[in-house]
Amino acid sequence: MKNGYLKVGRAAELEGADKFIYRLLEIFPGFLSWGTIIGVIVLSWQKPVWVALFIIVFDVYWLVKTVYLSFHLNVSWKRMKRNLAVDWMSRLDNMKWQGLWQMVILPFYKEDFEVVEDAIGSLFSADWPKDKMIIILAAEERAGEGARLISEKIKEKFGDKFAHFLVTVHPKDIEGEMAGKGSNIAWAAEKAGLKILDAQGIPYEKVLVSAFDIDTRVYPQYFACLAWHFLTVENPYRSSFQPVPLYNNNIWEAPALSRVVATSGTFWQMIQQERPERLATFSSHSMSFKALYEVGFWQRNMVSEDSRIFWNFFLHYNGDYKVVPLSYPVSMDANLAPTFWRTTVNVYKQQRRWTWGVENIPYILFGFLKNKKISFGKKLRHSFAQIEGFWSLATNPLLIFLLGWLPLFLGGQEFNTLLLSYNLPRITRTLMTIAMLGLIGSAVISLSFLPKRPRIQKFRKFFFMVFQWVLIPVTISIFGAIPGLDAQLRLMLGKYMGFWVTPKHRK
């Protein structure tokens, strides 16, 4: 099939040489990351001087990288604050925006009524004409009777508040599909195109589609900001639009570990907004229905549909596609469960699912081998960005906080008599202390995102929000590097993950 590689999910779906090549590409990221970790351990025993010098150079690199990323974070923070203060509806006054429709797809599984209600309530409160809004509540048949009843209650409450309100039910056990968000929203978008756009004669090029997680709440002028960027970007039908995810809906209730992990995710997305050449869609994102239809909607046979849809576009349009950063937020839930232990487990599982985005690396590299129309320069830049990103995530925290001391323990008596062995921990500690000073800026920025403190929360918790950042060496190792290595090992061994739905708990 021509361009059949565009929808491949894993090596087993291919045949012959293509299957062999794709399988090698699935092994590659894990081989690189695990090879780095194992190599440092072995060389700390066999060549401790080499590793000690490497660790010092690596720590300097990490310090420079921290300064570089902190700069981008600060710039992104200031830009987002400015964008939140802009009256985007007024900016649209001199533009032909009245024909634009906003379609929002909200997939849900077994979330409570209150979670769904809050999400749709925020859409109703947004500053966009409701007669130009289409809401798709995408339920799952496998969720059972409870999901059906919630759908009915939500439609009864909000069904007449928008121009169109459609409830779709994604059937279970469709051959070739993976149970998860991607297959659900693809089904929902296809049904919305047939039942609403085609039936009402609404042009696909006039519809902006936002695929949101069910806990997403939009800020008042999100749709106006989105429309402005769509109308001013050079090629709107070759662009996706990415907001900044703020995990602050329930931030006052979430434990410190969850808060630090969630806010770190926000910070990373903010940094990426300042590096659009490295930006791919993540979680809640938007694009034109026209482009979405042309690429065949989201993939239904893999986990990371949010980022994969960008690479689908990129390959389909021969590299003529980009993500436009909005520098404007949407808010979602931090991970929270009834108990601390359950929250900790859920944070790990969520991070492992997100780091399973490494499944995009074999897809990208295989697609670049197949597509001869994309320039070599673009292929090289995007390949390096993705490989380096997932390698860094899985290895850097461990190299810094755990493995940097190994030459002292494994290097033997000969190494420990050297001046280098005496200075290694001191140099490392000094460089890391300087790098960790950047956490002061992180604390300040995180406080600016806090919603109003609920009355039931005591004032002293505000101080915990400041000092929680001392946990960062723990969180980036246990909830960053380790789930990253876990995901890459599974991909390397062909133990493919399914889609894990993060439970939404509200106190």
Residues 336, 224 share a domain: yes
Three-state DSSP class for 327? strand
Sign of CA pseudo-dihedral 366, 371, 374, 375: positive
Query: Does residue 325 come out as left (phi exceeding 0), alpha (psi in the -120 to 50 range) or beta?
Result: beta
Question: Is the residue at 104 inside a domain?
Answer: yes
Residues 158, 221 share a domain: yes
Question: Is the residue at 402 inside a domain?
Answer: yes
Q: Is the pLDDT of residue 316 over 60?
A: yes
pLDDT at 420 (0 to 100): 66
DSSP summary character for residue 318: T
E strand intervals along 175-265: 207-211, 217-218, 239-246
- The count of structural domains within the chain is 2
CA–CA gap between residue 206 and residue 288 (Å, rounded): 8
Residue 442: closest CA among 76, 81, 70, 78: 70
Residues 220, 173 share a domain: yes
Residue 104: closest CA among 181, 171, 165: 165
Tell me the Cα Rg of the chain: 24
Q: Is the pLDDT of residue 280 over 60?
A: yes
Sign of CA pseudo-dihedral 453, 457, 460, 461: negative
CA–CA gap between residue 316 and residue 41 (Å, rounded): 42
Cα 255 → chain centroid: 21
Residues 56, 133 share a domain: no
> Does an H or E element contain 182, and which?
helix 181-192
Q: How far from 363 is each of 217, 278, 347, 500, CA to CA, in Å?
A: 32, 17, 26, 21
- pLDDT tens digit string along 205-227? 999 999 999 999 999 999 999 99
Tell me the one-letter amino acid at 174: I
pLDDT at 20 (0 to 100): 95
Question: Is the residue at 83 inside a domain?
Answer: no
Three-state DSSP class for 452? coil
Residue bearing the bigger pLDDT, 229 or 337: 229
Q: In degrees rounded to 5, what are phi and psi of residue 335?
A: -65, 130
Question: Is the residue at 119 inside a domain?
Answer: yes
Residue that finishes a domain, picked among 321, 342, 358: 358
Tokens read off for 411: 């290097």
> Does an H or E element contain 248, and which?
none
pTM of model > 0.75: yes
Question: Is the residue at 276 inside a domain?
Answer: yes
Residue bearing the bigger pLDDT, 54 or 432: 54
Residues 261, 205 share a domain: yes
Residues 232, 120 share a domain: yes
Residues 205, 259 share a domain: yes
CA–CA gap between residue 223 and residue 128 (Å, rounded): 6
CA–CA gap between residue 216 and residue 58 (Å, rounded): 38
Window from 98-112, 328-342, 464-478 with minimum mean pLDDT? 464-478
The DSSP secondary structure of 24-71, one letter per residue, reads HHHHHHHHHHHHHHHHHHHHHHH-HHHHHHHHHHHHHHHHHHHHHHHH
Q: What is the mean pLDDT of residues 56-80?
A: 87
Residues 228, 130 share a domain: yes
Q: Is the pLDDT of residue 446 over 90?
A: no
pLDDT at 415 (0 to 100): 63
pLDDT at 51 (0 to 100): 79
Question: Is the residue at 477 inside a domain?
Answer: yes
- pLDDT tens digit string along 83-115? 999 999 999 998 989 899 999 999 999 899 999
Domain that holds residue 477: 4-68+387-493
Q: Is the pLDDT of residue 425 over 80?
A: no
Alpha helices, DSSP H, located in 252-375: 256-273, 289-295, 305-316, 340-355, 360-370
Residues 270, 193 share a domain: yes
Question: Is the residue at 326 inside a domain?
Answer: yes
Alpha helices, DSSP H, located in 86-102: 88-91
Q: In degrees rounded to 5, what are phi and psi of residue 168?
A: -110, 150
Residues 212, 330 share a domain: yes
Tokens read off for 474: 């723990």
CA–CA gap between residue 390 and residue 33 (Å, rounded): 8
For 369, other C-beta atoms within 10 Å of its C-beta total 14
Residues 145, 23 share a domain: no
CA–CA gap between residue 107 and residue 300 (Å, rounded): 14
CA–CA gap between residue 446 and residue 252 (Å, rounded): 12
Give residues with Cβ within 8 angstroms of 380, minimum separation 6: none
Question: Tokens 């600016």 identify what position?
Answer: 448
Percent of the chain with pLDDT over 70: 95
For 483, other C-beta atoms within 10 Å of its C-beta total 22
Q: Is the pLDDT of residue 308 over 90?
A: yes
Average pLDDT value over all residues in the chain: 89
- pLDDT tens digit string along 219-259? 999 999 999 999 999 999 999 999 999 999 988 898 989 99
| Local confidence band at 423 (pLDDT 50, 70, 90 cut-offs) | low
- pLDDT tens digit string along 29-67? 999 999 999 998 888 787 888 878 888 888 888 888 888
| Local confidence band at 1 (pLDDT 50, 70, 90 cut-offs) | very low
CATH number at residue 309: 3.90.550.10
pLDDT at 2 (0 to 100): 46
Look at strands 133-140 and 164-170 and give their pairing: parallel
Residues 460, 317 share a domain: no
pLDDT at 432 (0 to 100): 72
Question: Is the residue at 394 inside a domain?
Answer: yes
Window from 20-34, 53-67, 405-419 with minimum mean pLDDT? 405-419
Three-state DSSP class for 402? coil
- pLDDT tens digit string along 147-159? 999 999 999 999 9
